[in-house]
Structure 1
Amino acid sequence: MAAWVLCFLAGCVQTPPRDPLQETVPLPVSWRARPVAAQKGEVGAWLASFRYPDAVALVTAALDGNNDLQAAAARIRQARAQARIEGAPARPQLELAPGFAHAGAGREARAYADDGTLWTLPLNLSWEWDLWGRIADARRAADLSADAAEADWRGAGLSLAAATVQTCFELAEARQRLAVVQASIDDRATLVDLLQGRFNLGLADGLDLSLALTDLNDARAELQDADNRIQLGQRRLDVLLGHYPAGETGLCRQLPELPEPLPAGLPAELLTRRPDIVAAFARLRAQDHRLSSARKALLPRVNLAAGGGSLGNTLADLSDPRAAAWNLALGLSQPLYAGDRLQADIDLRAAQSDEALYLYRQTVLNALREVEQSLAAERKLLEREQALAGAVKQTETSRELAIYSYRNGTVDILTLLDSYRSTLTAQAALLQARLNLLNNRLALYLALGGGA
């Protein structure tokens, strides 16, 4: 025992110092995928940068009504209550236990009244002097777990905001695609009407009419697919907002323009800004304190116990000062052998602390990857969007030429129908590219951990 006390006094039973930057891989001074000049400035709120009132309204409603976010808030309250429970043994415990007993004739009934009754009013006080900080470590671990839960809640709010905006963008893209497909159907229907009239007059080949009808039905199938995507997007939005999934949302009809890039900050700043990293580091420190508490369980414990109260043969006797009695005891206990339970608990906590350290490092690496990936992807996505915009213009020109040439008899029906399909494919691809750009920007903002 003396050896353990001396070891503690020498500072052996302490939580290790932790620094978020020192516990992970060496970080570069700037993001590799973006020039340093574009990184200056503080990472701030990103929602307003889209200049999209529909998204702002939906995010506000989601943060107020989403059930998953409310559940995360409830977990914070649970963790704070658990922290109070962990710290309770360091405070005096007072108990009042009034009692009544009745005994029949015999030697054991001598202390009782003539009718065999005895009233008692004991008051017991107990308190453990947290000499080594074992209870304080357990309380600190619980507080850090509550801090982690709060960081999780902040992260859940950011994820919810991003998911809501992303769903809004996807719904807008589906509605714009529906309009594009409908316009293509109108053009193809005009061609079918023309061919049907010419066929009725014996001026058109039945094969041409059949091919045009087939192409029209294919476009109508695409229309149903686009309409189904709209219904899915509307219902996802309803659930994110905590509403019944009626699928009647009228917002999100046009994709916004890609906003100007916001500052990305520096890699080291991510460690204290991004909620999942903050939560992982808090859990690491919590495990350190649990390990310290487990080690201190081997040290002696000092307990103070006090009792007092009164007893009497009647209720009136309980208020008589002469019936009062009290006692006070100071105890020292030293664990000697517990079937290896205490050492196993230390080994368990040490392994959990190691696990928390590796999880923290992996969380940081994943966060860094997400930022670098989004920064690098934006340039490629912009180039793709520009190429597809040019392709749309070219296919529209080709379609107009194909219509003119078909009317003059210089191209066949297959060439004309192919021009319709190429135009629709290019328009749909351009919409998807713009959606990918917006979603990638959302992913970047979420990866940076800035507020919505």
Structure 2
Amino acid sequence: MTIKLPIAASLLSPGTSGNERMLPDLRLLICTIVLLTTSCATAPERNAIDMTKSPPQWATVNAPANPIATQWLSSFADPALSALVKDALNNNYDLKAAAARVDSAREQARIDGAARWPQLFFAAGYRRDALPSSETGAFEALFTMSWEIDVWGRIKAAQQATGQEAEAVAADYHGARLSLAARTAQSYFELIEANLQAEVAEQSIKDRRTIVELVRGRFARGLTRGLDLRLVLTDLANAEAQLAGSRNQVQIVTRRLEVLLGRYPGNSLKNRSALPAPPTALAAGLPSELLTRRPDLIAALSRLQASDSRVESAKKTLLPRITLTAAGGTGSPALTELIDPRAVAWNLAMGLVQPVFTGGRLKAGIRLNEARTEEAFNQYQSTALNAFREVEQALAAEFWLREQELALKEAVEQTQASRKLAVYSYRQGLIEILTLLDSYRSTLNAQSAHLSVQRQLLSNRIDLYLALGGGV
């Protein structure tokens, strides 16, 4: 239930002035506004640095604390990669949809803010009345105006909440843009690795066919058993199956990359033949800088601030609302008389509406928004903690991946040398065929694992750039 108190109202005939009648009421209204505005609550100030406890430096050893580079794409020194990322940022449909969501959120903020301004409508028409004894017609020009004077800032707080949500959506878009660039680069590196894995499998098949011919010749001369020939043929078939799997992986990654680029997945991308060297050690900056740089944290903070503004707006619904309404117009059988200002009749009314009993709806609305604010606060803390984890994890992973890459590089060199010795020893009858086949499998596995960890190093570096909120 609400109480509506009329403050001033007048129905004026053409040519009558009502300013004198309204002045005392307006003075009373202004005094009331001045007294009540001093008690209006506002949303609290939120600061990312003060709100989150961040360590003075990263826990991972050897993590440089210098400011990070703002552009990470150029650090790979790969023009083809830069061109693909640019293509994806311009043509990806998911990113375009995210951009449209930003426009939608901004327009919604404008819609919510429109209530702070007077709403004026004009209607023109012609009315025809037929009676048993006569028939009349008249042209009409009518207008109506309504305006809720936002004395306490309730509508402004609601508009501010929508604007902050629009800022969050814009931060989401920025994050989606960085994520798309990262996924494009990682898919590009995956495609290079898949092609290199296929090349390694092809070379392995050539080597195994050489072994098959060697064993077949020895079997024909009675120097080896039929079991040896069966074993090398089985090993060759397994290698061919592995090559088919590698080529299937190439087409899968190619089509996925083409979709990221906004192209038809026709498996038509050309690819370079080598992975780039990992960039030099990265300066990770300070943990506190992460809070003001990562898009997801910026979005979470904006949503928390929007919740604060909605609490403020909900609390101000308990205060009285002051409304101003007006209506007027003129009607005449002659169209030319509509423009005569002496023929215009109008009325103006101002009132105060105070909620008295609403069944607990308004206070429940306040508690609802307070609960959502608590949810947004904890969601922000969780997002910040996860951001710290991603950085620490990527920093540590880079150290161990580099160690793994060095070990696998050594393993490739050793297996290649052992394979040559195994071939010589088998020719001399010093080892069994299983030992020879095992040396070939070890070489293939070491080469495949080395390629995989090289690609993981590059992908992890991109993950680290993304975790730190670095720009493209």
TM-score of the two chains, using structure 1 as the length reference: 0.94
Q: Does 1:388 align with 2:408?
A: yes
Q: Distance in 1 between matches of 2:35 and 2:265?
A: 63
- The equivalent of 2:66 in structure 1 is 40
Q: Deviations over 1:215-271 (max 9, x none)?
A: 000011110111011001100110000100001111243211111022211111011
Gaps of 5+ in 2: 4-31
The list of structure 1 runs, each at least 4 consecutive aligned residues, that deviate by more than 4 angstroms after superposition, is 4-12
Give the 3-state SS of the residue equivalent to 1:94 in structure 2.
strand
Q: Please say if residues 120 and 318 of structure 1, whose CA atoms lie closer than 8 Å, have aligned partners that are also in contact.
A: yes
Which amino acid in structure 2 is aligned with residue 226 of structure 1?
S
SS of 2:291 mapped into structure 1: helix
The one-character-per-residue Cα deviations of 1:316-369 (angstroms, maximum 9, x if unpaired) are 442343421122222211122223221221111111111111111111000000
What residue in structure 2 maps to residue 14 of structure 1? 42
* Partners of 2:367 and 2:271 in 1: CA distance: 56
252 and 291 in structure 1: CA distance in 2 versus 1, 3 angstrom threshold: farther
Between 1:339-348 and 1:280-289, the stretch displaced more is: 339-348
Displacement, 1:131?
A: 0.5
Correspondence for 1:105 among 131, 148, 159 = 131
> Which residue in 2 is equivalent to 1:236?
256
Q: Secondary structure at the match of 1:159?
A: helix
TM-fit CA distance, 1:43: 3.6
Q: CA deviation at 1:6?
A: 10
SS of the counterpart of 1:21?
helix
What number of residue pairs does the alignment pair up? 442
1:360 match: 380
AA partner of residue 98 (structure 2):
A
2:77 counterpart letter in structure 1: R
Matches within 5 A, 1:4-403: 9=37, 11=39, 13-24=41-52, 26-35=53-62, 38-105=64-131, 114-403=134-423
**Alpha-carbon distance, 1:11 to partner:** 4.6
SS in 2 for 1:332: strand
Superimposed CA distance per residue, residues 49-102 of structure 1 (whole angstroms, 9 cap, x where no aligned partner): 111222111101000000111011000100110000110011111101224333
Asked whether the equivalents of residues 68 and 470 of structure 2 are also in contact (C-alpha less than 8 Å), the reply is no
Cα deviations across residues 266-306 of structure 1 (Å, max 9, x unaligned)?
11101110000000000100111011111111111111222
1:7 CA drift (Å): 10
The residue that corresponds to 2:11 in the other structure is: none
Partners of 2:411 and 2:282 in 1: CA distance: 29
Q: In the alignment, residue 194 of structure 1 is paired with which amino acid? A: L
Contact 1:7/1:13 (<8 A) preserved:
no
Could you tell me which amino acid in structure 1 is paired with residue 456 of structure 2? Answer: N
Alpha-carbon distance in structure 2 between the residues aligned to 1:281 and 1:34: 30
Asked if structure 1 preserves the Cα contact closer than 8 Å seen for 2:40 and 2:316, the reply is: no
- Is this contact kept in 1: 2:259–2:265, CA < 8 A? yes
* Change in 2 beyond 3 A, CA 1:9/1:35: farther
User: SS where residue 126 of structure 2 aligns?
Assistant: strand
C-alpha displacement at 1:40, in angstroms? 1.2
SS in 1 for 2:135: coil
For the structure 1 residues 84 and 350, does the alpha-carbon distance in structure 2 shift closer, same or farther, using more than 3 Å as the test?
A: same
Matched residue type, 1:137:
A
Residue 12 of structure 1 and its aligned partner are, at CA, apart by: 5.3
Q: 1:9 to 1:304 in 2, by over 3 A?
A: closer
Q: Write out per-residue CA displacement over residues 115-146 of structure 1, whole angstroms, 9 at most, x where no aligned residue.
A: 13343211112222111111111111111111
What secondary structure does 1:425 align onto? helix
Distance 2:243 2:316 in 1: 69
Kindly provide the amino acid, as one letter, of the partner of residue 57 in structure 2.
S
Distance apart, 1:9 and its partner CA: 4.4
Report the identity percentage.
50
Distance in 1 between residues matched to 2:459 and 2:74, nearest whole Å? 15
- Structure 1: how far apart are the matches of 2:209 and 2:222? 20
User: In structure 2, do the counterparts of structure 1 residues 44 and 344 end up closer, same or farther at CA, with 3 Å as the change threshold?
Assistant: same
| Unmatched runs of 5 consecutive residues or more in structure 1 | none
Task: State the AA in 2 paired with 1:247.
Answer: N
State the distance in 2 between where 1:310 and 1:8 align. 39
Q: Give the Cα separation in 2 of the matches to 1:128 and 1:424.
A: 77
SS in 2 for 1:262: coil
8 A Cα contact 2:37 2:151, kept in partner: no
Q: Alpha carbons of 1:5 and 1:321: their partners in 2 closer, same or farther (altered >3 Å)?
A: closer
| Distance in 2 (alpha carbons) for counterparts of 1:42 and 1:238 | 30
Whether the aligned pair in 2 keeps the contact of 1:378 and 1:437 (CA below 8 Å) is: yes
Q: CA RMSD in A?
A: 1.9
Is 1:420 the equivalent of 2:437? no
